[in-house]
Amino acid sequence: MNSQSFTATYLIETPLDPARVAEVMAGEQSCGTFTRVQGETDELRARARARVESIDMLEPAAAPSLPNAWLARQPGGMPAEYRRARVRIAFPVANVGANLPTLAATVGGNLYDLGEVTGLRLESLELPANYRAQFDMPRAGIAGTRELTGVASGPLVGTIIKPNVGLSPEQTAHLAAQLCAAGVDFIKDDEVCANPSHAPLAQRVAAVMAVVRAHRERTGRQVMVAFNISDETDAMRRHADLVEREEGTCVMASLNHCGYSAIQTLRRGTPLALHGHRNGYGALSRHPMLGVGFQAYQTLWRLAGVDHMHVHGLQGKFSQDDREVVDSARDCLAPLTPGIDDAVMPAFSSGQWAGTVPATWSAVRSDDLLFMSGGGILAHPDGPAAGVLSIRQAWQAVREGRSLDDYARDAPELRRAIEFFGNRA
């Protein structure tokens, strides 16, 4: 890869010549507009214009994926056929510099509004190592998260505070104490619970960390709690300082709703592990011909320095295909550029229980992950401790190459989970 440029790959749909549309994309997102203007010299274009590197034609579509008033206004109205292509464009690093919001605007921005397209999706980003190194790195990442939790091997088994909202600080702390005693490695707030009036964050952090510290003193185990500190930027910095003072090790933020700049500022202002929650990503990705694929999405957020990234879960309750979940986890575990150790820990969640462990192991073949289970732990018929143990037993089974049913003959917690949750799968 040219060290002076980064590349973006797009899936486009258009009734026009894809090569022409690709040039429009390159111009719009670098030094051009719909017509050449005064000052746009050949010398300027040579150093500042984006460059179309490749166009791969795909199967056409019979109907447009998205509405398009611009095309409808053209003579003859909407065309009959829509070509699809995968387009790769290289952008000069010098146009952007180490500026994450502008990088995101360059590879996305007004491209989604172009009249020439009836579908456009940013699929992936590739960055040269010297450019990636100018951005933030994870503070904890995989190795640091393992060190902070004392989990040297195997997946980190985690759960989510449920009910999502409504618990008082004291009730939240009581539940956290139960979860610590049950043997979890990781607890996180739900994304909709940050600083509610019935459980102000300052009170909730103090109450929960008191029981976490007491558990550590009794057992020597430090459970990681990801407190949801999503807020305006200065407030998030204050919240992170509070968590650090209370000897917490992790904070969580809703990435899409806080924004790149806020997450960068938070990363630079706290040594705590930063748990990146992607809630709202479906609005950016659910249509196959619109938005942002996860490879590009997680690249941008990893440049902000997050340590964990949500990927949803296999056979879970959300709409993502299992293949997308697997690819997302692998993207998190891979370095953004060769030679730079910046992998982040994928966080599996949504409808996970012991029965989804075999699919997870088979797909990823790694236990460098957070396996988060809400109902699979809290709703286990024999209690949360049995729920945690059933998940650990399931992981041991797959690592030994055994089926869950076979392993469950001598593992009552796993057997009960299969009997109870199996009918709900």
Mean of per-residue pLDDT scores for the chain: 94
Q: What is the pLDDT of residue 97?
A: 96
Identify the band that residue 425 occupies on the pLDDT scale cut at 50, 70 and 90.
Answer: very low
Query: What are the pLDDT digits (tens) for 129-145?
Result: 999 999 999 999 999 99
pLDDT digit string, tens, across residues 266-319: 999 999 999 999 999 999 999 999 999 999 999 999 999 999 999 988 877 777
The pLDDT of residue 104 is above 80: yes
First to last CA, the chain: 45
Residue 285's pLDDT is 95
Residue 103 has pLDDT above 90, yes or no: yes
Q: Indicate the burial class of 402 (C-beta count within 10 angstroms; 0-12, 13-18, 19 or more).
A: middle
pTM of the model: 0.94
> Which pLDDT belongs to residue 34?
55
Per residue in 20-53, pLDDT (tens digit) is 999 999 999 998 665 666 667 777 778 889 999 9
Residue 352 CA: distances (Å) to CA of 289, 313, 378: 29, 6, 12
Measured distance CA(335)–CA(321) in Å, rounded? 24
% of the chain residues with pLDDT over 90: 85
Mean pLDDT calculated for residue range 106-116: 95
Q: Note the pLDDT of residue 138.
A: 97
Would you tell me how many other CB atoms lie within 10 Å of the CB of residue 424?
Answer: 10
Mean pLDDT in residue range 2-9: 93
pLDDT in tens, 242-278: 999 999 999 999 999 999 999 999 999 999 999 999 9
Q: How far is CA 267 from the centre of its chain?
A: 16
Using CB atoms within 10 A of its CB, is residue 64 exposed (0-12), middle (13-18) or buried (19+)?
buried
Does the pLDDT at position 114 exceed 80?
yes
* Segment 181-205 mean pLDDT: 97
Mean of pLDDT values over 315-327: 83
Contact 96, 103 (CB under 8 A): yes
Q: Select the more confidently predicted residue: 43 or 160.
A: 160
